[in-house]
A and B are shown apart, each in its own frame.
Chain A
Amino acid sequence: MVLDILAYDFMQRALLAAIIVAITAPVVGVFMVLRRLSLMGETLSHITFAGVSLGVFLNIFPLWSALVATVLGSMGIAKIRQSARLSGDAALAVFFALGLGGGIVLLSLSRNVAVSLSSILFGSVLLVGWEDIFVISGTSIFTLGTVFLFYKEMFYVTLDEDLAKVSGLPVNWFNYLLSILAAIMIVAAMRVVGILMVSAMSVIPTLASMQLSRSFRQTIFLAMFLAVISVFLGMFIAFYAAVPPGGTIVLTTVSIFFLTVAAKTMRRKPNVKTS
């Protein structure tokens, strides 16, 4: 019965796409959460919406236009944050509104009726084709490869920007890199859970992992593991309950988060500190 789900080609593709995203999204999510940039993911996902709408409007493959728009948006946010002309939150609010407003206008101007708003907002993992999987795999390899190459530097900048600067690291460059990786991850994850829930794929597994992990490295691997579990469970529930998988994946992730919080609360002992 469990393997029934794999009897369908579309389910195989959906599961493959979702697992690739589940492995990649938390790797970027760990750095975003610890740098207090969780809201940036939400904002970028709305810029992704504008990018998808632009692709639909221009009649080009939407993931490509979304990728370009989101990467440019992420660099714009990073630039504004660094120049301190606007506070971090204010910059995000502007781009959030721009993405949503621009996206809805472009989509309504488009005559391509085949694209449904709900599939953009809530995901359409069951409709992923091989071109989608090609894009998702490419972006995942790029993201994981980049983090592997710059792991220790990205950890250092996340731990303390000033200390990293004193060591001569190009901190601004790493800030741009993280923004770009976040943008790429969001475009990849959008097809699975939709833009409204996309940051949940990166942020919530990270938060769950942080409840249990005993090192930074362990946080990353545990978050990946929990995200993959969420995807498996979410897809199975969606398949047998006949509900949208984007929603069940996110709900499973949130449930796992609450379980980890409960587990941490139960195992917590009196915190005795010594000098």
Chain B
Amino acid sequence: MQPVVELKDVDVAFGSIHVLEDITLTVEEKDFLGLLGPNGAGKTTLLKVVAGLLRPYHGTVKLFGEDIAKSTLRSKIMIGYVPQRITLQSQNFPTTVYEIVATGRISRENTFKRLTEEDHQKIEDALRFVGLYELKSRMAGELSGGQLQRIFIARALAGEPSLLIMDEPTSGIDIGSQVAFHSLLDRLNKEQGLTIMMTSHDIGAMSHMCTKVACVNKKLFFHGLTEDLFRGDILSKVYGYHVHPIFHEEHLM
């Protein structure tokens, strides 16, 4: 089976600061890969490299076997991307929930064209999936952080992505919303077979949700099945100090 993501010998630097070094990583279809690592470890950079927002100065990045540095790939393969901080530039951005989710159907291929009936159907389906269809006419600035996060997930899903990339989607969200959110991701991965890459600082939640885990701190320290994460002292090496995860029942779904 063709891997969804293949990173080979990827190095990324901002000026003279090396953020990622020698990253070789493969994400298979239907994987739910959790990216773990301390602040500043390069997790967000890694996701941006996969999303095509940053280019490595060395190494190759392939999506579905094709080099993303080349040509029209991104217009063919839809990536659902949920960034770390959703601010809408300002809380006064005058847009509705529906208008935001509709952007998930926009690609280079439908430039000059109006959205079709099918597009509108997919937008409504995505809103129903995240349980916020009733809020479709609501102004985005009137939503809570948790609702806004789900709206941007719906936006990503409306494009029927082959790969969903999420950067700390549960940061700043209360525990109740996090549990609902984790259940949503579980359905996407297990029921719909969607390949997911996600960063988080919640090691406990990641260990229950993700099928695989990658630990990054400039370099790749571990990449494998989630159950193998707690063997040895991998986490201590990644974080640079002793880490002893404590699991909470809320995360057991």
Contacts and interface: CB of A to CB of B under 8 A. Distances in A.
Contact of A166 (B52, B72, B137): B52
B28 interface: no
B99 A155 contact: yes
B189 to A, nearest CB: 20
B95 interface: yes
Contacts of B72: 168
A269 to B, nearest CB: 11
Q: Which among B75, B79, B100 has the greatest number of chain A C-beta atoms within 10 A?
A: B100
B112 interface: yes
B232 interface: no
Contacts of B59: none
Instruction: Give the size category of B's interface with A.
Output: 35 or more
B52 A165 contact: yes
Contacts of B115: 152
Contacts of A168: 72, 74-75, 107-108
Binding site of B, secondary structure by majority: helix, strand, loop or mixed?
loop
Contacts of A118: none
A165 B112 CA distance: 17
Interface string B148-188: 00000001000100000000000001101100000000000
Binding site of A, secondary structure by majority: helix, strand, loop or mixed?
helix
A150 B99 CA distance: 15
A159 B95 contact: yes
B96 A215 contact: yes
A164 B103 CA distance: 8
A216 B140 CA distance: 11
Contacts, number: 94
B103 A155 contact: yes
A143 interface: no
B247 interface: no
Contacts of A267: none
Interface in A23-51: 34-36
A214 B96 contact: yes
A156 B103 contact: yes
A107 B26 CA distance: 65
Interface residues of A, number: 33
Contacts of B83: 160, 162-163
B1 interface: no
B60 interface: no
A263 to B, nearest CB: 15
Nearest to A223: B94
A155 B115 CA distance: 14
B88 A159 contact: yes
Contacts of B74: 166-168
Contact of A150 (B111, B143, B177): B111
Contacts of B155: 163
A150 B106 CA distance: 11
Interface of A: 34-36, 149-150, 152-153, 155-156, 159-160, 162-170, 209-210, 213-219, 271, 273-275
8 contacts: A34-B93, A152-B102, A162-B81, A162-B83, A166-B52, A216-B94, A216-B95, A273-B144
